[in-house]
């Protein structure tokens, strides 16, 4: 069933939660949006494991952010003092959490889009009147970016397996190593993209201003229901944010 949901419905949902995530400032509202997103991405069988792996890095960033916010935003109650300098305030903490929630909402949105079948996503974008070459580019990008990240991580692991602990190196060496890693992966990705674009053109891509399709998306009754629910949910969240919290 999850595969059958129209990609345009998923897009609408993702646009709604990520705009709300960016617009809301109250922590409780952000938490609500986050959990709704989490719930839906679970229902859609999104790859939350990937998300979990990214959260690990996020948490590190989160701590740094909370401290920086606490030091520079001089409001809220001081929670932790270190040698006379306040390094944790309630305001810093809540801003840090808000930031964390936002990033998580964006990541969830990405995971939801990634559950779309690529051909159907492209078709969805085209039927939303986007130029077809743009639709292709973005959809292919959405699919290939995670692969690129995986490849980068694999190379990094390979280097660590050889007994080089990046964390222990000096900054200059670290940059050197990282450029060793990045360069081949990016050169590889670019060359692959170039080859792909040649093959695509040799099969007539961009021959005309439009193209036909053996696939036409039609909203099912279930899609209409999902669209309606998304609108109701979004409106409810906005109203709650405005008047009740």
Partner 1 sequence: MLQYALEAKNLSFRYSHNSPFILKNINLKLRKGEITGIVGLSGSGKSTLIQILNGVIPKRVTGFLDGSVYLNGVDIADMELSYLARKIGTIFQDPDCQILFPCTEDEMAFGPENLCYEPYAIIERINSTAKMLAIEPLRYRNPNTVSGGEKQIIALASVLTLNVGIMIFDESMSFIDDRGKELIKNAILKLKKQGKSILMVEHDLSNLEVADHIFLLKNGTLEPFKGVIE
| Residues at the contact surface with partner 1, assessed by CB under 8 A | 117-119, 140, 192, 195-208, 210-215
Report in angstroms how near the CB of residue 7 gets to partner 1 at its nearest.
Answer: 14
Q: Which helix (H) or strand (E) holds 15?
A: helix 7-23
- Which residue number, 191 or 228, has a Cβ lying nearer to partner 1? 191
SS3 78: strand
Report in angstroms how near the CB of residue 204 gets to partner 1 at its nearest.
Answer: 4
Most distant CA atoms of the chain, gap in Å: 69
Report in angstroms how near the CB of residue 181 gets to partner 1 at its nearest.
Answer: 21
Q: Which residue has the tokens 């959990």?
A: 35
Please name which of 129, 145, 146 lies closest in space to residue 137, comparing C-alpha atoms. 145
Do residues 88 and 79 lie in contact, with contact meaning Cβ atoms separated by under 8 Å?
A: yes
Other C-beta atoms lying within 10 Å of the C-beta of residue 234: 19
Report in angstroms how near the CB of residue 130 gets to partner 1 at its nearest.
Answer: 16
- Which residue number, 67 or 135, has a Cβ lying nearer to partner 1? 135
- Which residue number, 113 or 226, has a Cβ lying nearer to partner 1? 113
Report in angstroms how near the CB of residue 224 gets to partner 1 at its nearest.
Answer: 25
Please name which of 110, 105, 111, 103 lies closest in space to residue 57, comparing C-alpha atoms. 103
Within 13 Å and on the Cβ side, how many CA atoms surround 87? 8
Report in angstroms how near the CB of residue 151 gets to partner 1 at its nearest.
Answer: 13
Do residues 104 and 55 lie in contact, with contact meaning Cβ atoms separated by under 8 Å?
A: yes
- Which residue number, 178 or 189, has a Cβ lying nearer to partner 1? 189
- Which residue number, 42 or 192, has a Cβ lying nearer to partner 1? 192
User: Structure tokens of 63?
Assistant: 């701590």
- Which residue number, 59 or 215, has a Cβ lying nearer to partner 1? 215
């Amino acid at each position: 069933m999850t595969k059958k949901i129209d990609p345009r419905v998923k897009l609408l949902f993702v646009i709604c939660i990520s705009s709300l995530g960016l617009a809301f400032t109250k922590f409780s509202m952000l938490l609500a949006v986050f959990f709704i997103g989490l719930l839906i991405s679970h229902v859609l069988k999104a790859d939350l494991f990937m998300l979990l792996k990214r959260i690990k890095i996020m948490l590190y960033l989160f701590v740094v952010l909370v401290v920086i916010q606490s030091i520079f935003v001089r409001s809220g109650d001081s929670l932790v003092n270190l040698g006379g300098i306040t390094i944790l305030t309630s305001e810093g903490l809540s801003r840090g959490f808000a930031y964390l929630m936002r990033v998580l909402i964006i990541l969830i949105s990405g995971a939801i889009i990634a559950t779309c079948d690529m051909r159907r996503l492209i078709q969805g974008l085209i039927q939303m009147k986007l130029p077809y070459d743009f639709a292709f580019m973005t959809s292919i990008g959405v699919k290939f970016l995670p692969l690129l990240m995986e490849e980068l991580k694999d190379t990094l692991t390979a280097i660590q397996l050889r007994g080089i602990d990046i964390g222990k190196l000096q900054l200059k060496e670290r940059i050197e190593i990282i450029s060793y890693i990045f360069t081949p992966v990016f050169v590889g990705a670019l060359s692959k993209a170039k080859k792909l674009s040649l093959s695509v053109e040799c099969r007539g891509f961009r021959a005309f201003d439009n193209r036909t399709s053996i696939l036409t998306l039609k909203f099912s009754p279930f899609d209409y229901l999902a669209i309606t629910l998304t609108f109701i949910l979004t409106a409810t969240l906005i109203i709650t944010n405005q008047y009740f919290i």
